[in-house]
Amino acid sequence: MTGPNILLTRIDNRLIHGQVGVTWVNHLGANLVVVANDKAAGDEVQQSLMDMVLPDVIQARYFSLQKTIDVIHKASPKQKIFLVVKDVHDALALKEGGVPLEQINVGNMHYEEGKKQISSTVSVDEADISAFKKLEQLGVSMDLRGVPNEKGQNIMDLL
């Protein structure tokens, strides 16, 4: 096998929570959740809270974007990785940094001032749309869905 065994990458501004920590991990058969986000990588309190959501048999790592780029290729093939990022910009930085992202699940991007809501759980602004378009140009497929048993929608159809 070449490259890390990344089962799926999810964009979710909540990072690890019940849906991610239980539903997605079980669905994917992941044994490692890697949170790639600069802020979360340095926030031990947030990490402890996220660890509490995960089953004991699932490991979690909290890396900055650069550390993820630097170490993901060293992952053992036995590590079944569920990669979680906070936003589309983190995902794009990883892809442009050489992390082999092929499929992204867009789960949650909260509404903020200046963003338009494109689904019940996802709001975007022009910078987000631009980042999604770059990811598409780089060959990444992206679907929007909250939980595995939902029918996914191509995010590009909603932008």
| pLDDT (tens digit per residue) in 138-152 | 999 999 999 999 999
CB atoms within 10 A of CB 50: 22
Q: How far apart (Å, rounded) are the C-alpha atoms in residues 153 and 68? A: 28
Q: How far apart (Å, rounded) are the C-alpha atoms in residues 118 and 71? A: 34
Beta-carbon contacts of residue 155 (< 8 Å; ≥ 6 apart): 106, 122, 132, 142, 143, 144
Q: How far apart (Å, rounded) are the C-alpha atoms in residues 158 and 149? A: 20
CATH homologous superfamily of 6-157: Phosphotransferase system, sorbose subfamily IIB component (3.40.35.10)
Kindly report, residue by residue over 61-109, the tens digit of the pLDDT.
Answer: 999 999 999 999 999 999 999 999 999 999 999 999 999 999 999 999 9
DSSP letter at 109 equals B
- Tokens of residue 157, six digits: 């159809």
Kindly report, residue by residue over 109-131, the tens digit of the pLDDT.
Answer: 999 999 999 999 999 999 999 99
Kindly report, residue by residue over 7-35, the tens digit of the pLDDT.
Answer: 999 999 999 998 888 899 999 999 999 99
Q: How far apart (Å, rounded) are the C-alpha atoms in residues 38 and 57? A: 25
Q: Which residues are catalytic?
A: 17
DSSP letter at 122 equals B
pTM, whole model, 2 decimals?
Answer: 0.95
Beta-carbon contacts of residue 134 (< 8 Å; ≥ 6 apart): 92
